């Protein structure tokens, strides 16, 4: 039996999948750290760098047509290597790694690209490893989401990740880390392009 299928329009076939929005969660900073640059592994005034595996995460901020979104600001926040957030309501707050910045922000450059030096995220009770992202593109759009790590066993049961019902959309927020020895000994790297619904 012949089944008629809708023919994709040129517009539909030339657009990128939109990065799905996800909850901000309870630990967005209530006050910003003095040092909130794009290097979360080093904190001004702290001798020790962050505990954890260094990870270089970069990508572009795009619109659905694949054009670069100029002027976008990207924020990230995550727990330290022991699963503790730098937030007054976070469990274990007194044990937060003072060598870890916990939050950072950066503007995209002229090529629409952002880059962070941070640590590979770890699991904490009830959540698979993830990094929170917020993107603000003034006059264009904004997005709050979370980024995950490929092959983490807890991805299969994480409630926030699996609330993204569409398989391709879910896959778009799961990143594979690779060795980044050419950038920094022992470090990892990964690419996460963010597509705004604009």
By CB under 5 A, tell whether 71 contacts Fe ion.
no
CB of 63 or CB of 75, closer to Fe ion: 75
Point out which span in 22-30, 55-63, 105-113, 189-197 binds Fe ion (CB under 5 A): 22-30
The values of phi and psi at residue 14, to 5°, are -100, 5
CB of 41 or CB of 76, closer to Fe ion: 76
Q: How far is the CB of 18 from Fe ion (least distance, A)?
A: 22
- Chain centroid offset of residue 142 CA: 14
Instruction: Point out the residue whose Cβ comes nearest to Fe ion.
Output: 25
Rounded Cα–Cα distance for residues 46 and 67 (Å): 39
Q: How far is the CB of 60 from Fe ion (least distance, A)?
A: 24
8 Å CB contact between 191 and 59: yes
Degrees, nearest 5: CA angle 79-184-82: 20
Q: How far is the CB of 85 from Fe ion (least distance, A)?
A: 7
Point out which span in 4-12, 17-25, 91-99, 162-170 binds Fe ion (CB under 5 A): 17-25
Pick from 15, 18, 21, 25 the residue near Fe ion by CB under 5 A. 25
Degrees, nearest 5: CA angle 47-53-58: 100
CB of 21 or CB of 71, closer to Fe ion: 21
Question: x-or-dash pattern for Fe ion, window 38-67, by CB under 5 A?
Answer: ------------------------------
Point out which span in 12-20, 23-31, 52-60, 95-103 binds Fe ion (CB under 5 A): 23-31
CB of 25 or CB of 141, closer to Fe ion: 25
Counted residue by residue, the chain has a size of: 198
Distances (CA, A) of 68 to 17, 40, 97, 109, 136: 15, 25, 35, 10, 13
CB of 27 or CB of 177, closer to Fe ion: 27
8 Å CB contact between 197 and 65: no
CB of 26 or CB of 139, closer to Fe ion: 26
8 Å CB contact between 187 and 56: yes
8 Å CB contact between 136 and 155: no
What is the binding site for Fe ion (CB under 5 A)? 25
């Amino acid at each position: 039996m012949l089944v008629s299928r809708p023919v994709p329009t040129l517009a539909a076939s030339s657009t990128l999948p939109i990065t799905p929005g996800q909850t901000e969660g309870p630990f967005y900073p209530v006050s910003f750290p003095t040092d909130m640059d794009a290097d979360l592994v080093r904190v001004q005034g702290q001798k020790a760098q962050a505990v954890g595996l260094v990870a270089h995460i970069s990508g572009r901020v795009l619109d659905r047509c694949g054009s670069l979104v100029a002027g976008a600001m990207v924020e990230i926040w995550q727990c330290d290597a022991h699963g503790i957030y730098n937030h007054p309501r976070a469990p274990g707050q007194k044990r937060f790694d003072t060598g870890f910045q916990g939050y950072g922000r950066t503007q995209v450059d002229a090529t629409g690209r952002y880059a962070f030096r941070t640590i590979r995220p770890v699991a904490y009770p009830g959540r698979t490893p993830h990094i929170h992202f917020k993107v603000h593109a003034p006059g264009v759009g904004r997005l709050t989401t979370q980024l995950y790590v490929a092959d983490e066993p807890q991805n299969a049961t994480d409630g926030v990740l699996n609330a993204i019902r569409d398989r391709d959309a879910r896959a778009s927020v799961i990143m594979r880390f690779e060795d980044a020895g050419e950038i920094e000994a022992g470090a990892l790297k990964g690419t996460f392009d963010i597509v705004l619904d604009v």
